[in-house]
Amino acid sequence: MAGMKTDIEVLAAYLGHSSVDVDIDDKQKVPLLGVDGGFKLRGFGTICKYLAKQAKRLDLLGNQPEAQAAVSQWLEYRITQVDRCGTDKDKQCILEDINRFLQKRVYLVEYQPTLADLLLYYSLHSVMTELTFLEKQKLMHLSRWFNQVQHLPGIYQTLPVVPFQRNRIYGHSAH
Amino acid sequence: MGFGDLKSAAGLKVLNEFLADRSYIQGFTPSQADVAVFSALSGPPSADLCHALRWYNHIKSFGKATASFPGQKKDVSAYGPAGGASAADDDDDDDDDIDLFGSDEEDDAAAAELKEKRLAEYAAKKAAKPGPIAKSSIVLDIKPWDDETDLGEMEKLVRGIETDGLVWGASKQVPVGYGIKKLQIMCVVEDAKVGTDFLEESITAFEDFVQSVDVVAFNKI
């Protein structure tokens, strides 16, 4: 919940918005964004897409309908699966799923960074900071993707950089 | 050092390994380095080199836009492990060189020879040294003819049996019935040298005293 609010603010800062009016509706735990015209937008995915369009960063949303749908799907995935998973075992499952998905891909959707990459990066940042080097080496594709996203211009300064190192101590038996 | 010959399987393997934790050849954005390596490949890498294939498809998706990647195109041998430590690179490649426990390249032939010699010496020493000797502890039951047989005499005779690998231990006299006692004696033998048949034969040789011999217990030590 607090995660959603800070993430929206960080995203807005990345996109170049000077200030955003974000609230959390306590009863339903849904973020609200105040927009011109007075009414409030509800929903994490909606708000993120709106901010991106407002900043004229349509590349972040995906070029074709399929890509756009995929971005929406990842935003939903983030809210329903990632943010809500409680136990460590769930977390590990999710990390492994994403790792497998990233085996063939540089970015989550198509060939360029999109909102999906950014928001999943924000969401997983706290988890990745706590992983040991061995675990990072086991989730090789996830680590590679994470390292790539965190070095993108504009993202690099916002959150502390998580170190990745391929350590030959662990060798090939680790994967 | 570079990747080696990128048209050969060995070179592709190096490329695959290199790209396991990287999205691009150099840095975090596509550059002319990627173009250089891409054009050095003759075709898409096979599916088992999953990192190389992933990178290949990604670069291919840019199509003509590859011409506008930043950077300066250098010869392919300038990129890759240890070769990519050129000018504008960030701390990516330093990670490759931190090999805390690995051994340095054996450039020196003399050093290699010395190592071989020492290995051979060690192996020879190991072979010469006898390994742990297998021993067993045997308990024998020696039965006399009747109750008048002198067990003390019998025991002296049995203990007189000496051979390499045989050590006699404690003994006791166990009553069997009707006044007859049998002699129970322990010994430790080395398996390779002494067996129970030898013991039985040599003991039953004392025909005047010994009626029969039995093995009660045989334990490996």
Over 70: is that where the pLDDT of A115 sits?
Answer: yes
- Give which of B190, B182, B188, B194 is closest to B217, Cα–Cα: B188
Please give the pLDDT value at position B87.
39
* Distance set, CA B201 to CA B91, B143, B170, B182 (Å): 80, 14, 21, 18
Is A132 within 8 Å of A126 (Cβ atoms)? no
Rounded to 5°, the CA angle A106-A108-A112 comes to 65
Q: How far is A43 from chain B (nearest CA, A)?
A: 32
Q: Measured between CB atoms, which of B23, B95, B96 is closest to A148? A: B23
Which of A126-130, A161-165, B13-17, B102-106 shows the lowest mean pLDDT across its residues? B102-106
Q: Does an H or E element contain B17, and which? A: helix B9-18
**pLDDT given at position B119:** 79
- Does residue A172 surpass a pLDDT of 70? no
Burial B113-134 (b: 16+ CB within 10 A, else e): eeeeeeeeeeeeeeeeeeeeee
- Closest partner CB to B99 (pick from A106, A152, A168): A168
Q: Assign B136 to helix, strand or coil.
A: strand
Tell me the chain B residues in contact with residue A146 when contact means C-beta distances shorter than 8 Å.
none
Side chain identity at B216, as an amino acid letter?
V
User: Residue B139's pLDDT is what?
Assistant: 92
Give the model's pLDDT for residue B108. Answer: 61
Residues in chain B with pLDDT values less than 70: 1, 82-110, 127-131
Two tokens, residue B32:
């002319």
- Phi first, then psi, for residue A169 (nearest 5°) are -60, -40
Q: What string of DSSP letters covers A35-59?
A: -TTS-EEE-HHHHHHHHHHHTT-GG
Alpha-carbon span B68 to B48, nearest angstrom: 31
The pLDDT confidence band at residue A137, using thresholds 50, 70 and 90, is confident
The structural domain count of chain A equals 1
* Rounded distance between C-alpha atoms, residue A82 and residue B13, angstroms: 35
> Residue A74: which domain range?
4-150
Question: Residue A168: inside a domain, yes or no?
Answer: no
- The pLDDT value given to residue A29: 72
- B50–chain A nearest CA distance, Å: 7
Tell me the CATH number at A48. 1.20.1050.10
- How far apart, in whole angstroms, are the C-alpha atoms of residue A71 and residue A116? 5
Phi, psi of B167 (to 5 degrees): -130, 125
Residue A160 in domain: no
Q: What is the pTM of this model?
A: 0.58
* Cβ contact A75:A119 at 8 Å: yes
Residue type, A143: S
Domain extents in chain B: 9-128, 135-220
User: Comparing A139 with B107, which gets the higher pLDDT?
Assistant: A139
Q: What DSSP string describes B63-85?
A: GGGGGG-SS----GGGSSTTTT-
Residue A58 CA neighbour count, 13 Å, CB half: 4
Question: Is residue A174's pLDDT more than 50?
Answer: no
Split at pLDDT 50, 70, 90, the class of A43 is confident
CATH topology (fold) of B135-220: Alpha-Beta Plaits (3.30.70)
Q: How confident is the model at residue A48 (pLDDT cuts 50, 70, 90)?
A: confident
Q: pLDDT grade, residue A175 (50/70/90)?
A: very low
Q: Of A108, A148, A161, A162, which to mutate for an interface test with B (greatest number of B Cβ within 10 Å)?
A: A148
Residues of B in contact with A104 (CB under 8 A): 50, 53-54, 57
Has residue A164 been placed in a domain?
no
Residue B79: which of B2, B6, B23, B8 has the closest Cα?
B2
Backbone phi, then psi, for A162, in 5-degree steps? -85, 125
Chain B residues near residue A145 by CB distance under 8 angstroms:
23
> What is the ipTM score, two decimals?
0.76
Which residues in chain B have their CB less than 8 angstroms from residue A103's CB?
Answer: 50, 54
Residues B186 and B169: beta-carbon distance below 8 Å: yes
Query: How many whole angstroms separate alpha carbon B107 and alpha carbon A137?
Result: 30
Integer Cα distance of B206 and A173 in angstroms = 66
> Would you state the structure tokens that stand for residue A31, as one six-digit string?
């973020």
Asked whether the predicted pLDDT for residue A27 surpasses 80, the reply is no
Residue A157 covered by a domain: no
End-to-end CA, chain B: 58
